Chains A and B, each alone.
Chain A
Amino acid sequence: MHEFSIALEILDTLEENGYLDGVKKVNSVKLAIGKYSGIDKNYLEFAFQNLSDERFKNVFTEFVPNDSDEIKIIEITVD
């Protein structure tokens, strides 16, 4: 169940790069998930929605598959 750790890493990456400055709510996160990334998409969405950061409480996740091992944040929509 490392999807919680991945969700926390994504939160850190977004915060450290200023994408969450002034954001009240994160509506969606679009990710590129490689088939060798070892990520269960269902669990990752569950992990996002259960982060202690309330802004992600109702977040929708969208996944773009590819043949690599990458996990990349493509886009977020926020209020």
Chain B
Amino acid sequence: MLKSNRFKRVSTGGRSLTVQKNALESNEINAKKNKAVFGKAFVMNILSSPGSGKTSLLESIVPALKLEGFNAAVIEGDVETDLDKKRIDNLGVPAYQIITNGTCHLDAKMVNVSLNSLDIKNADVIFIENVGNLVCPTSFNLGEDMKVVVLSVTEGDDKPLKYPAAFYKSKVMIINKTDLLPALDSDIAKIKENALSINKELIIFETSCRKKTTENIYNKGIADFVSFVKEKIRIKAAEFQKQNI
């Protein structure tokens, strides 16, 4: 285990320069550029560990928004493949795949490049599916309006305590795969309690993306989240219009 206490050494001297700057200043500059390009579209940066169901969630949400006349676009982040983009392509919305070639997160510059190719002129909402990782993506602002953390019930109720940054920085937590609860000892109340202990303002949705579920209760969370997204789209569009009059 790499856990030495090596940080109490005194420096070897030299000229001291006071800096007092955000260490991620250059990423912030690109994030601001992205925000300007996003325009009226409401942008969600979706974080989670691998396999929590981010793409399945988009497969549930995007058609529901489309049915009600809202246009979505999707930026997919993946270490190695374009498998997720192919799934999004089936939904008939503009999508762009960023393959990071081993990098464990998306940064603002990668998104900046993707915006040269992705058609977002009609988009009301843009979903950025980050690389599956609950640590690294939390450090990088992509110019989004909101981070959303997805946690599946199979991951255990202690996840928010073990990976606090993702829950601290997100405005929404989606507890996914709730259809599996009867087969698990996972305690949904405990998941919420732990997440709210990190960020008491988290807005929480419980979802299932199973396509063949017979019980409507599993899909209520999807409907609630779609309503939430629609409201955010309207607010962002109104603010954008106000600023550009």
Contact = CB atoms under 8 A, between A and B. Distances in A.
B25 interface: yes
B243 interface: no
A73 B11 contact: no
Contacts of A37: 139, 165
B136 A2 contact: yes
Contact of B11 (A17, A62, A63): A62
A63 B164 CA distance: 19
Contact of A45 (B6, B10, B14, B19): B6
Contacts of A9: 23-27
Interface string B2-40: 111011011111111111111111110000000000000
Interface in A1-36: 1-2, 5-6, 9-10, 12-14, 16-17, 19, 25, 27-28, 31, 35-36
A42 interface: yes
Contacts of B4: 42
A36 B33 CA distance: 25
B138 interface: yes
B104 A16 contact: no
Interface string B72-105: 0000000000000000000000000000000111
A42 to B, nearest CB: 5
Given A38-B135, A38-B139, A27 B105 contact: no
Given A2-B105, A9-B27, A14 B165 contact: no
Could you say which of B9, B137, B139, B165 has the most chain A C-beta atoms within 10 Å of its C-beta?
A: B139
B23 A71 contact: yes
Contacts of B139: 2, 5-6, 37-39, 71
A61 B8 CA distance: 9
Interface of A: 1-2, 5-6, 9-10, 12-14, 16-17, 19, 25, 27-28, 31, 35-39, 41-43, 45, 60-63, 69-79
